[in-house]
Amino acid sequence: MTNWHAAWGSRLPKGHKMQNENEQDSSIALKSLVDSHEQPFVVIDKNYRILAVNTAYEKIYGFAADEAVGKRCYEVSHGINKPCHEEGEECPHDYIYDKGEPRICAHIHCDANHRMHEVKVSAYPLKGMNGE
């Protein structure tokens, strides 16, 4: 079973923004933060949109960051057009936003070649200075 880490946040931390590698900015790119993790790591917003993926995610699942970022997590990870909890999967998304607490669950994710991967999702809320 692959460990798969995800963080849910309604917005990026102050001073950080999504940026592509060609942009020059004094703030730390979100990509460099997620790349500090050796296991696949994804940042997902309140609307299920993927904000960033790390290099480990790209290698294991075969999706380049520009293919995943901006899409909904269930579209990329499950190949479906509605949240996975509506398909009977345990999903930490609602729990993270309702309770604001970490959640761990097992999932089946598919890669870019439609191969299934059994994963342990460790999900963590990201909160800004205002607590959201």
3-class secondary-structure state, position 3: strand
- At residue 82, the pLDDT reads 94
Q: Is 93 exposed, middle or buried (0-12, 13-18, 19+ CB in 10 A)?
A: buried
- At residue 107, the pLDDT reads 86
pLDDT 10s digits, 15-25:
444 444 444 44
Rg (CA), the chain: 14
pLDDT 10s digits, 61-120:
999 999 999 999 999 999 999 998 898 888 888 888 888 899 998 888 888 888 898 888
Closest C-alpha among 129, 122, 106, 105 to residue 8: 122
